[in-house]
Amino acid sequence: MTKYFKCSDRELTVLLKQGSHNAFTEIFNRYNSLMYSHACNKLRSPSDARDIVQEMFTRLWDRREELEVGNNLPGYLYTVVRNQIFNFIKHQKVVTGYAETFCKINEENSATTDYLIRSKQFEANDTGRN
């Protein structure tokens, strides 16, 4: 029986590529906290960092058969987390842009709606006086 905690990163990577759940668990145990700290430091949001790291490990498992890690598993994981952080930030900019545009349009429509309501109220008041 393999003692996974004694395996090198290279050995764990080979076992992971073969579908070993235990190798994946050992990689997770070794690097989860480190990757989380790195992501949290960059994003300043524990929940977003947790999501990024969870996604990174999910992708690691899903793409295990085609992994090309070489001899640097931590470097590979850092690169994946970094790229996911960049994608997350880019997505947040898009969301913020849409939200700002929506608020601007909503304010313009609200002003127009308010104007129309007041105009109709004035017309009704003027008609009632005649």
Structural domain of 98: 4-129
Poorest-pLDDT segment among 12-21, 35-44, 116-125: 116-125
Kindly write down the DSSP assignment for every residue of the chain, as one continuous string. Answer: ---GGGS-HHHHHHHHHTT-HHHHHHHHHHHHHHHHHHHHHHHS-HHHHHHHHHHHHHHHHHTGGG---TT-HHHHHHHHHHHHHHHHHHHHHHHHHHHHHHHHHHHHHHHHHHHHHHHHHHHHHHHHH-
In this prediction the pTM is 0.71
pLDDT of 92 > 90? The answer is no
CATH of the domain at 68: 1.10.1740.10
Number of domains observed in the structure of the chain: 1
